[in-house]
Amino acid sequence: MRKHRIAAIPGDGIGKEVVAAGVEALSALAALDGGFTLEFEHFDWGSDYYKRTGTMMPADGLEQLKPFDAIYFGSVGAPDLPDHITLWGLRLAICQPFDQYANVRPTRILNGIESPLRNAGVGDLDWVIVRENTEGEYAGQGGRSHRGHPEEVATEVAIFTRAGVRRIMRFAFRTAQSRPRKFLTVVTKSNAQRNGLVMWDEIAAEVALEFPDVTWDKMLVDAMTVRMTMKPRSLDTIVATNLHADILSDLAAALAGSMGIAPTANLNPERQFPSMFEPIHGSAFDITGMGIANPIGTFWSGQMMLEHLGEQAAADRLMRAIEKVAADKGLHTPDLGGSARTADVTAGLIAAL
């Protein structure tokens, strides 16, 4: 029997509700499969933990997480705490030291889900966005001086390293190569960001030579928003910097029908550290505690986690069940225009499994 140890970090807001649903669904799947077990350990880190202890996670938090095979994460953020504390104190405090440099976000319109794009349906939008996840605009370099004075200054320095850009480009070309269309779009802004992004373009062209079977093109990030909206079929695999992909992937999630559906994986492809899987949505305090959070993004993140753990058959089974649930309007939560509750969707998913 194969055994996988998973650290579950529900975090804040609806993160707690959707991770509970995800753990229930994945446990049921493992029991049905019979070939592997998932051993979940729960960590109550996040904003409530911060209010009790003054830190988002304990000082030895990373040491505690290191032995796990994967991390199943909910969301982080609280209305009464600044975002930079909650984000840097937990999510980024895990992603960066664990070198989860490839953030992967599949986007598809699932059967039964309505896209805000007129006439767009299943198959019109089938993308994988690869986001550089450790440097770029979110490297954390910069500072503030003369606080509160009229001459106050703040800098936010984007960092692009040759090694960092090369490894994300290689990962993106490999991802494109593994998909039927073998087509990659490199998002850039080298017309205005004329140092880091010019190097980004140069390295993309160098790495492309290693992948002669992959076709690729280049898009300025502003024009990319237009192409995603007007010509969604013209895209397949997409690679972008930390900031650009952050924005583009929210657009992608909205175009696919709801923030509640989209999953993401923060991968350390070399497997020196555990990788982390989470829905892309935030804590959504407007609906916290109401029992109506859409758990599909968390189920889909669980599917990506199973793939990463080598449980492809179970991952495929879970994806078919997700598609079945999405297609059933009676199991749509209010964000999809229905009146189902998180618990209904979870029960529906387990029945579909």
Residue 246 binds ligand ATP (CB under 6 A) = no
Nearer to ligand ATP, 174 or 332 (CB): 332
Closest CA to 295 of 43, 30, 109, 74: 74
Q: Which pairs with CB-CB distance under 8 Å and at least 24 residues apart come from 222-231?
A: 222/189, 224/185, 224/187, 224/248, 225/251, 228/252, 228/255, 229/117, 229/255
Count of H helices and E strands in the chain?
A: 12, 12
Residue 67 has a CB neighbour count (10 Å cut-off) of 10
DSSP per position, 190-220: TTTSTTHHHHHHHHHHHHHTT-TT-EEEEEE
> What length does the chain have?
353
Q: How far apart are the first and last CA of the chain?
A: 20
* Least distance in angstroms from the C-beta of 335 to ligand ATP: 4
The catalytic residues are 138, 189, 222, 246, 250
Residue 133 binds ligand ATP (CB under 6 A) = no
Segment (H or E) for 104:
strand 102-108
Residue 278 binds ligand ATP (CB under 6 A) = no
Q: What angle do CA 112, 299, 73 make, to 5 degrees?
A: 140
Q: Which of 293, 304, 306, 353 binds ligand ATP (CB under 6 A)?
A: 293
| Token pair 């695999």 in the structure block, residue | 237
Residue 281 binds ligand ATP (CB under 6 A) = yes
Nearer to ligand ATP, 270 or 286 (CB): 286
Piece of 25-33, 93-101, 197-205, 279-287 that binds ligand ATP (CB under 6 A): 279-287
Residue 128 binds ligand ATP (CB under 6 A) = no
Residue whose C-beta lies closest to ligand ATP: 282
Nearer to ligand ATP, 73 or 200 (CB): 73
Positions 250 through 269 that interact with ligand ATP (CB under 6 A): 259-260
Tell me the per-residue interface mask from 66 to 105 with ligand ATP, x by CB under 6 A, - otherwise: ---------x-x----------------------------
Q: Which residues bind ligand ATP (CB under 6 A)?
A: 14, 75, 77, 259-260, 281-287, 293-294, 297, 333, 335
